[in-house]
Amino acid sequence: MRLKVLLEAKGKSSITLPWNYRTALVGLIYEILKKADEGYADWLHCKGFKKGNLSFRLFTFSDLKPNKWELSNDGMILRDPLLTWEIASPDERFISSFIEGVKLKNHLLKIFHNDYEVLDIAQVNSSLFQNQTSSARKFQTISPIAVSLHDRSISKHAIYLSPDDARFTEFLKKNLMTKWEAFNQKPCSDDTLDFEILQVKKKLVPVFNVNVRAWHLKFRMSGSEELIRFAYDVGLGIRNSQGFGMIE
């Protein structure tokens, strides 16, 4: 399930969105959820969906997309007050709580020190899964995908993989299956998912004082419709709930 949100910046004639705006959006999402369903918001933030010793929040969101902007060292300078933002989750409670929370906040949100009004919030009904004769579908990222491994014998820091590394797509597949198991609380026996990377653009993304090496991609994904739909709702790779891995 996916929502498209239309925002309008209020007050100032010129607003700069810092490059680390994802950090503020994560806090805003939990603030909105808490307004509607405090127990759920606290559970999602502190515990989430479990698979063994792993915990997932199972939502993702897109880059903010202003109508007109200029780039600066500090971020994006908005030359038009309108922005669009997409957010998705396979969890109906997340979607309904987000919509209700926006209403309870009178459609007024704050990102860093700037005020925004929610002009529209609508559920997206994708035509992606209609009239498909092939299991292979073409996608592109609307927030970059990150993949990392942890090997203390090599580095105490995360080792980010690039799409030309064979482990990259294998990680995407296994990670998605693990998230599916966390959400459905049963084993995933579907091993048909496959990826073909078509186009790559590297992006260094700051979030929570970490620079994440991520990738905007165009790619084909094939396999069962259930897993592809799940990827569409939950995102690919790591840090989905920090604004990574959303696809369209």
Structural domains of the chain ordered from first start:
2-123 (3.30.70.1890), 137-242 (3.30.70.1900)
* pLDDT computed for residue 229 by the predictor: 93
Q: Is the predicted pLDDT of residue 194 greater than 60, yes or no?
A: yes
Q: Of 182, 186, 176, nearest to 234 (Cα)?
A: 176
Mean pLDDT over the full length of the chain:
91
Q: Cα–chain-centroid distance for residue 56?
A: 13
Looking at the DSSP assignment, which residues form a beta bridge with residue 120? Answer: 6
> What distance, in Å, lies between the first and last C-alpha atoms of the chain?
12
* pLDDT computed for residue 155 by the predictor: 64
Whether the Cβ atoms of residue 83 and residue 9 lie closer than 8 Å to each other: yes
Q: Is the predicted pLDDT of residue 34 greater than 70, yes or no?
A: yes
Whether the Cβ atoms of residue 162 and residue 215 lie closer than 8 Å to each other: yes
What is the C-alpha R_g of the chain? 18
Give the tokens for residue 7. 């925002």
Half-sphere exposure (Cβ direction) of 240: Cα atoms closer than 13 Å: 26
* pLDDT computed for residue 134 by the predictor: 56
Give the tokens for residue 16. 């700069």
Calpha distance 183→89 (Å, rounded): 11
Helix, strand, or coil here: 241? helix
Higher-pLDDT residue of 190 and 212 is 212
- With cut-offs at 50, 70 and 90, classify the pLDDT of residue 124: confident
* pLDDT computed for residue 122 by the predictor: 93
Kindly list the distances between the CA atom of residue 248 and the CA atoms of 104, 154, 196, 223, in Å, as whole numbers in the listed order.
29, 35, 15, 16
Helix, strand, or coil here: 100? helix
Give the tokens for residue 39. 């127990």
Calpha distance 177→234 (Å, rounded): 11
pTM of the full structure: 0.91
* pLDDT computed for residue 247 by the predictor: 96
For a pLDDT cut of 70, what percent of the chain falls above it?
Answer: 94
* pLDDT computed for residue 142 by the predictor: 97
* pLDDT computed for residue 135 by the predictor: 72
Whether the Cβ atoms of residue 180 and residue 225 lie closer than 8 Å to each other: no
Helix, strand, or coil here: 111? strand
